[in-house]
Amino acid sequence: MDLRQTIFEVIDMRSFSNLWFWIALAVMWSTASHWVLGVPWDLITRARRKGGPAERDVALLVQVYVNRILHVAEVSGLVMTVLICFVLTALAILGFAYGVEFAQAMFLLAFPMTVVWILSLRSARIIRRDEPEGAALYRRLQMHRMTVQLVGVASIFVTTMWGMFQNFSIGVLGG
């Protein structure tokens, strides 16, 4: 028996039965929920409660990240849209039409994050248009965070259900 075969027998390389996939999913959604348009949630909470320097920091960071998000969208939005659509379509076809479990797992990670990117772009446009300050800005950031969390909960639920289905069907059907 060679080393490669031993490694593949010891470590299950299927995505949905691999602990690292589930850790990556949890870290991805934890990070997406914590960084609201590039601003850490704890800083937003501190600014809302205490004001002062934290409030100025939030306003500055929001301005920087809104400008950055909108610049990226304006400069390379069309190319990014085409590439993201191509990659998501390829992953969906490979994963769900051809049964490649790795492609299924990557699609279930990438598609919801694409939704989060679209939500971030929408929030950035609203913030630039309305130029909210203080409580209105915190309310907008909180609404964005709650929407991202809802997408995350739905994504985790769908991914968990699909992963359990895959693991049960592989276990019952024998591979």
Domain positions in the chain are: 51-166
pTM across the whole model: 0.87
Alpha carbon distance 119, 116 (integer Å)? 5
Tens digit of pLDDT for each residue in 80-105?
999 999 999 999 999 999 999 999 99
List the one residue out of 58, 53, 55, 64 whose CA is nearest residue 124: 64
Tens digit of pLDDT for each residue in 126-166?
999 999 999 999 999 999 999 999 999 999 999 999 999 98
pLDDT band at 172 (very low <50, low <70, confident <90, very high): low
List the one residue out of 121, 6, 136, 37 whose CA is nearest residue 73: 121
**What local confidence, expressed as pLDDT, does residue 42 receive?**
96
Tens digit of pLDDT for each residue in 35-53?
999 999 999 999 999 989 9
